[in-house]
């Protein structure tokens, strides 16, 4: 192959991949959080799940992206493993739409499609039109890239060495291996199938060889989801195992069919003069038939995945760690649905952090009242964990927000950033309250019955406040009003208790040192209420944006 043809091939591949990227970016901006809404409303109905998975993947033209979304949603608890099975099956069907579009040979009008998309971006100011223009421009660029690759590959048909190499792929094992490795490297079955179609359209490879490469490409596409599952929950990893089992099963079935039946001749007969269409049809048949075969036993795939990846023991591994934050590099943060996965993981991690802060506040009052001095080391250890989570979540948000393409998404990330900071400050105030116990013990400070009763009331109010914060409210506006009322109650209690303290000082029942510590306690108590209100304000903003 000459240098000119090699440059044409690389340039065509670059345009093809860039076109897919443009489409994905446009769809991300246009769809936003709708992907989350669609998947959250799924029932356990397998047919609806398959249909939704197929439709989403047909739109975004990437089964890898859909499966990565599924892994993320399972990890964050938005979706059960049983629901994930049907989505994954549907995703494998939906991904074949790219091949069918390529087989239509719309290369002649591709420049027009790209022009319309660019015109919408350049000449129209409406943001929604911009997103649609980006999708059209991406589609046009994708087909232009396909044409360039096809033109660059035509001379290869006259190369005996290259044709001889591809003929070896008639060996099922070599063909499947080649397809798996190539797709795993570029992490896009749509792109690898498109290249295979370009080779076939140039007369370089026939369906006898391409079929087995195609089957391997279905296995290779699992690598993206496999990478995304690193560091996730057990169920999220099982979703990846199900994806791999689906494609391996389909490959085994169709390899046997191709070897013992005239399946390849049958597919060739449908479109004898259109090699790209033959590959597209076989690809579609592969995924539809495999889905039909596994649909009745989908629940067994879940059970098999659970057997392969058994639950770990109850005891968690030692050390500080995050549980719900997927590695942004592995989930391809520029793909559709990635920001939703990030947001849901952050929300789950914030709930963990909130539970720790709640425990610290609750136990800090006991330590202050000298009713649980042995709890201090646990509070200190929990505070260290809260600080760790604050740092990890803040860093994660900073990285994730750089990939966000919508104003609403950026606002949600900003609110999540504010929430983690406020939770961390609440835990700091709890640590302050617990820390006063050292001075109380050293200086033998005692408090009156009234002061101890007030401590009990403060603890009760804080407990009620955190129960509210940890709720999943149906009416977020009403919920926010309850938190605001609770915060006002804390302010009123602080004022009243401070006045009571002054009366005790005047009456001689409160020492100078005791009054100083009690005053500091009231300040921390009031600040806890302030930070709780800040959290509810941000949660209200997020809820309003996501509506």
SS3 annotation, 237-254:
HHHHHHHHHHHHHHHHHH
Looking at the fold, whether 240 and 296 belong to one and the same domain comes out as yes
Predicted confidence (pLDDT) at residue 283 exceeds the cutoff of 90:
yes
330 occurs within a structural domain? no
160 occurs within a structural domain? yes
Looking up tokens 């927000």 gives 401
Final residue in a domain of this structure, among 266, 293, 308: 308
Q: φ and ψ at 43, to 5 degrees?
A: -100, -175
Looking at the fold, whether 460 and 541 belong to one and the same domain comes out as yes
Looking at the fold, whether 275 and 407 belong to one and the same domain comes out as no
Looking at the fold, whether 264 and 342 belong to one and the same domain comes out as no
Looking at the fold, whether 112 and 58 belong to one and the same domain comes out as yes
Mention every residue, 6+ apart, whose C-beta is less than 8 A from residue 175: 169, 209, 211, 212, 213, 215, 216
Q: Which of 93, 90, 92, 85 is nearest to 44 (CA)?
A: 85
The per-residue pLDDT for 161 is 66
Looking at the fold, whether 251 and 395 belong to one and the same domain comes out as no
170 occurs within a structural domain? yes
Looking at the fold, whether 386 and 518 belong to one and the same domain comes out as yes
Looking at the fold, whether 398 and 504 belong to one and the same domain comes out as yes
- Residues 194-212, mean pLDDT to the nearest whole number: 85
- pTM greater than the 0.85 cutoff: no
329 occurs within a structural domain? no
At 34, list the tokens.
């709708």
Looking at the fold, whether 39 and 165 belong to one and the same domain comes out as yes
Q: What is the CATH number of the domain that holds 515?
A: 1.20.58.220
Rounded Cα gap, residues 501 and 365, in angstroms: 18
Final residue in a domain of this structure, among 293, 308, 323: 308
| Domains contained in the chain, number | 2
- Residues 231-240, mean pLDDT to the nearest whole number: 81
Looking at the fold, whether 31 and 118 belong to one and the same domain comes out as yes
Rounded Cα gap, residues 120 and 127, in angstroms: 10
Which of 17-31, 142-156, 265-279, 523-537 reaches the highest mean pLDDT? 523-537
Q: Can you tell me whether residue 43 is helix, strand or coil?
A: coil
Rounded Cα gap, residues 169 and 57, in angstroms: 29
Final residue in a domain of this structure, among 292, 308, 324: 308
317 occurs within a structural domain? no
Distances (CA, A) of 43 to 79, 87, 91, 153: 10, 11, 17, 47
331 occurs within a structural domain? no
Mention every residue, 6+ apart, whose C-beta is less than 8 A from residue 431: 360, 364, 379, 380, 383
Which of 34-48, 58-72, 316-330, 514-528 reaches the highest mean pLDDT? 514-528
**How buried is 169 (Cβ within 10 angstroms: 0-12 exposed, 13-18 middle, 19+ buried)?**
buried
- Residues 298-303, mean pLDDT to the nearest whole number: 87
The runs of H, that is alpha helices, within 309-448 are 338-368, 376-401, 407-442
SS3 annotation, 97-121:
HHHHHHHCCCHHHHHHHHHHHHHHH
| Predicted confidence (pLDDT) per residue in 432-483, tens digit | 998 888 777 777 777 888 888 999 999 999 999 999 999 888 899 999 999 9
Concatenating the DSSP letter of every residue in 494-538 gives HHHHHHHHHHHHHHT-S-HHHHHHHHHHHHHHHHHHHHHHHHHHH
Looking at the fold, whether 414 and 492 belong to one and the same domain comes out as yes
For helices 275-294 and 207-220, what crossing angle results, to 10°? 50
- Report the 10 Å Cβ neighbour count for 260: 8
93 occurs within a structural domain? yes
Looking at the fold, whether 184 and 254 belong to one and the same domain comes out as yes
Predicted confidence (pLDDT) at residue 137 exceeds the cutoff of 80:
yes
Range of the domain at 259: 3-308
320 occurs within a structural domain? no
| pLDDT over 70 percentage in the chain | 86
| Predicted confidence (pLDDT) per residue in 156-171, tens digit | 666 666 667 667 788 8
| Predicted confidence (pLDDT) per residue in 36-49, tens digit | 566 555 545 778 88
């Amino acid at each position: 192959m000459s240098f000119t043809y090699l440059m044409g091939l690389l340039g065509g591949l670059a345009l093809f991949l860039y076109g897919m990227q443009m489409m994905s970016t446009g769809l991300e901006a246009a769809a936003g959080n709708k992907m989350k809404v669609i998947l959250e409303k799924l029932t356990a109905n397998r047919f609806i799940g398959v249909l939704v998975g197929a439709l989403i993947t047909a739109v975004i033209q990437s089964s890898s992206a859909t499966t990565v979304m599924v892994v993320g949603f399972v990890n964050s608890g938005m979706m059960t493993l049983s629901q994930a099975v049907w989505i994954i099956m549907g995703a494998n069907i939906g991904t074949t739409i790219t091949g069918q579009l390529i087989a239509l040979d719309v290369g002649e009008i591709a420049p027009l499609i790209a022009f319309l998309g660019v015109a919408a971006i350049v000449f129209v100011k409406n943001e929604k039109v911009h997103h649609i223009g980006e999708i059209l421009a991406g589609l046009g660029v994708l087909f232009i890239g396909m044409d360039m690759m096809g033109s660059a590959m035509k001379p290869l048909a006259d190369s005996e060495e290259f044709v001889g190499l591809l003929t070896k792929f008639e060996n099922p094992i070599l063909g499947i291996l080649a397809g798996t490795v190539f797709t795993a490297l570029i992490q896009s079955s749509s792109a690898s199938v498109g290249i295979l179609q370009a080779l076939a359209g140039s007369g370089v490879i026939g369906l006898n060889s391409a079929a087995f490469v195609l089957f391997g490409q279905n296995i290779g596409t699992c690598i993206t989801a496999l990478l995304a599952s690193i560091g996730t929950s057990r169920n999220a990893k099982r979703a990846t195992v199900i994806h791999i089992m689906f494609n391996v099963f389909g490959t085994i079935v169709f390899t046997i069919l191709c070897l013992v039946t005239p399946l390849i001749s049958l597919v060739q007969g449908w479109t004898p003069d259109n090699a790209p269409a033959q590959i597209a049809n076989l690809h579609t048949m592969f995924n539809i038939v495999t889905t039909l075969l596994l649909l009745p036993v989908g629940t067994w795939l879940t059970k098999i995945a659970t057997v392969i990846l058994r639950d770990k023991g109850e005891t968690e591994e030692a050390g500080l760690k995050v549980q719900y934050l997927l590695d942004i590099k592995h989930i391809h943060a520029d793909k559709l649905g990635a920001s939703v996965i990030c947001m849901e993981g952050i929300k789950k991690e914030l709930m963990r952090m909130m539970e720790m802060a709640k425990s610290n506040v609750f136990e800090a009052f006991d330590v202050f009242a000298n009713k649980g001095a042995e709890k201090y080391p646990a509070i200190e250890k929990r505070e260290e964990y809260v600080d760790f989570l604050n740092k990890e979540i803040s860093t994660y948000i900073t990285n994730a927000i750089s990939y966000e393409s919508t104003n609403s998404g950026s606002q949600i990330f900003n609110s999540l950033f504010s929430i983690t900071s406020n939770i961390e400050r609440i835990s700091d105030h709890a640590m302050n309250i617990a820390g006063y116990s050292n001075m109380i013990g050293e200086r033998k400070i005692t408090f009156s019955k009234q002061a101890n009763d007030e401590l009990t009331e403060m603890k009760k109010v804080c407990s009620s406040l955190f129960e509210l914060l940890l709720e999943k409210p149906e009416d977020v506006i009403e919920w926010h009003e309850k938190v605001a009322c609770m915060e006002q109650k804390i302010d009123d209690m602080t004022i009243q208790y401070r006045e009571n303290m002054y009366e005790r000082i005047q009456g001689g029942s409160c020492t100078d040192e005791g009054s100083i510590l009690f005053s500091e306690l009231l300040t921390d108590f009031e600040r806890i209420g302030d930070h709780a209100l800040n959290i509810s304000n941000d949660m209200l903003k997020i809820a309003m944006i996501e509506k």
